[in-house]
Structure 1
């Protein structure tokens, strides 16, 4: 039996609206995926597209990034889309870097901006 593919969606504060727009734009393709997201980002996605299967974890600074990292390390996350804001300092920057390192170590596709995320979505079937 095959499992539903899982995508992790995370966005820094200044990028949360971009993530909601991304989910709206790619709704048809995301419908076939289980989505895990950090707390506030997951809420914004769910508000934008209520039909999506979104599991909200803790806020990033409260451990949500680490929760997603654990899911990556156990093979439960197949793709990571993380809209980072490079112009705003993050108090939990170490957690963010650890998450990107895990995505690299476990060789899952990772997009850190909208242009790359759109390209990844083009490779998926609806």
Structure 2
């Protein structure tokens, strides 16, 4: 079963905006979660537990496979799907059976997605960085 994550466990790519509006990633206990920090609001408590409705869950192996695909130049990797819809990029999971809440979608601007991709390409979301 996937773990719960708190806001403080998530990191964003170095290229991300310093004032939120970022794709964030947390990794623990064999799981990786992807989150949109715009969902936290202005006064987010780092110890607050995030609800499943705000997270995309992947096993570490699935997220690592996604990163390998992205680094190999495949913009549409396995497990983490990205589509362009009405000016936003929408992230969803291709592994619905592992999602605690079905149908979760996270919406990002092109700048947010580019910063996230930069982080993947630079190895910023590797397991070893999460202790």
Task: Note whether the superposition's TM-score is higher than 0.5.
Answer: no
TM-score category of the 2 structures, normalised to the smaller one: under 0.3
Taking structure 2 as the reference length, the TM-score comes to 0.27
TM-score scaled to structure 1, two decimals?
0.28
Greater share of helix: 1
**Greater fraction strand:** 2
